[in-house]
Amino acid sequence: MDNGGVSTEPETAPPAPPLPKKRVAVVFVVAAVLWGIDLLTKQIAVSTLEGKQPVEFLGGLVYFQLVRNPGAAFSMATGLTWVLALVAVAVVVAIVWLARRLRSVGWAIGLGLVLAGALGNLTDRIFRAPGPLQGHVVDMISAFAPNGQGWAIFNVADSAICVGGVLIVILSLLGKDYDGSSTKDKKKAASE
């Protein structure tokens, strides 16, 4: 029957764009590389800086010295080393769980950096003196002045956590979600 050229079939929505590839491998490659660098730099620091005065580098912009830190960043919570170790375990488990859902390269890199940092400092807390879950973290970089007088003394793991955290915050502020979608796209689709 002729209906004057008007289609009687229901309109269908255009197909959704395919999801980006999962990025689990990116998380673990970034984490493995940075964890290895952290472990290597800590071993070098222990073998070359033990019992020595801070070594000035880049005209005093950076000093290398060995400090064993029982606390968190900026030497906070020094009496709660075992709690910090358990928090690091929780962070590692959470990132491994979330990694299966990642489809954003930026988020994968950010979480890989945080995972590397958590593993690096957790390794120290488990295997260094004075004992399991109470080990002191090896720090060796003092910016602007020796002995942490210009800035806190830190290590590669601490730097990885900070850079990864900043990257994740920037991605969130830009509306980029861990699953590869954009919150701006979601809002636009919801308003249509």
Which residues are known catalytic residues?
Answer: 139, 158
Q: Are 180 and 20 in contact (CB under 8 A)?
A: yes
Nearest to 39 by CA among 161, 131, 114, 124: 124
Amino acid at 90: A
Give yes or no for a contact between 113 and 37, defined as CB atoms under 8 angstroms apart.
Answer: no
* Cβ(112)–Cβ(29) below 8 Å: yes
User: What's the distance, Cα to Cα, between the start and end of the chain in Å?
Assistant: 34
Rounded Cα distance, 80 and 72, in Å = 9
For 41-73, b where at least 16 C-beta lie within 10 A, e where not — what string?
bbeebeeebeeeebeeeeeeebbbbbbebbebb
